Structure formats: C-alpha cells, structure tokens
Amino acid sequence: MSVTIRPVTETDIPEVLEIINYEILNGVSIYDYAPRTLEQQQTIIREKEAKNFPFLVAVSDGVIAGFATYGDFRFKEGYRYTVEHSVYLNHNQQGKGVGKLLLETLIEIARAQQKHTMIAVIDAENDGSIRFHQKMGFEIAGTLRESGYKFDRWLDSVFLQLFL
C-alpha cells in the first residue's frame, strides 16, 4: 500500500468530512454531537491555514485514508509554542501505518515551526490511541475526569505530551 501525505485541497474536503462525521456520530474521539457541514469544515481549514497550521491528508489508492492537523492549545500568547493535534483515519484504514505517517509529518512540521510541545487529548476509553501515542514518544501528563459528556454519559480526557 502506497500512501502519500500532502496538504489538503478543496477537492479533499468532502472525504475529510466523511471521516470526521463518522467519528462524531459513532465514537468518542471527538466530543461534538452534530455532524459538520461542508461550510464548517471549509472554515476550519481556512482558519488553520491563516495561522500557518498544517492540515494534511493521507492518500492511499486515490482515497483519503486519514487527515491530521494541529492548532492552538490555548488562546493565550504564552501558549504559542504549544500545539494540540488531531489525527483521524477512515475507520477502514486503521492499523495500516497511516496514522504513524501523518503524526510523524505533523511532528516534523511542528519542529520546523519551532514549537516546543505537542499535546494530544484522547478519550480515556480509547486505549488504542493512547498506546499509539505512547509508541510515538508521548507521555501521559494527566487525566481530567468527567470533562466531556456524550452519548448520555460522562467521559474522561487523557492528556499526553511530546516535547519537540
């Protein structure tokens, strides 16, 4: 399987939207409730680009297998060297190394942009993502109990950190 990592294009957005909306409707990797519209996703991408934050896609056999991005961790000036990232894969593409390629590329870009640390916020039930991040060098920095609410239950958020 050949995978290409590249910046998102306008024509990629519908496939990106399918991936994120699947997660919104079926999982707890994102605590949104309502599916995003095309316009909302376009706005998110434009805002990332305006701040010089990457928004990458992984293309395999002509299909978007996943995407990754990062942005502000918090909105105070003193946090400008810290970024919070997201990596989402098409649910049929997990376990094939696509997430690793996306995250490695994000880390390279963050280092080139002289960021100091990268944060992952992962639902505590998502053992696979937590283990994946630990294999990539992230360390658990703490857990916020009952910090999210979705599917009629409270959810815990695990924070992982990688010094760049």
Greatest alpha-carbon pair distance for the chain in Å reads 42
**Residue-range domain boundaries for the chain:** 3-115
pLDDT score, position 119: 98
Query: How many other β-carbons are positioned within 10 Å of the β-carbon of residue 97?
Result: 13
Overall pTM surpassing 0.85 (yes/no)? yes
Phi then psi for residue 123, to 5 deg, are -60, 135
Angle of the 13-26 helix axis to the 38-50 helix axis, nearest 10: 110
Domain 3-115, CATH class in plain words: alpha beta
Question: Across the chain, what does the average pLDDT equal?
Answer: 96
Residue indicated by tokens 């990332």: 48
Residue 93 has pLDDT above 90, yes or no: no
Give 33's DSSP letter.
-
94: three-class secondary structure by DSSP: coil
Measured distance CA(40)–CA(45) in Å, rounded? 9
pLDDT score, position 1: 67
29-88 residue pLDDT tens? 999 999 999 999 999 999 999 999 999 999 998 999 999 999 999 989 999 999 999 999
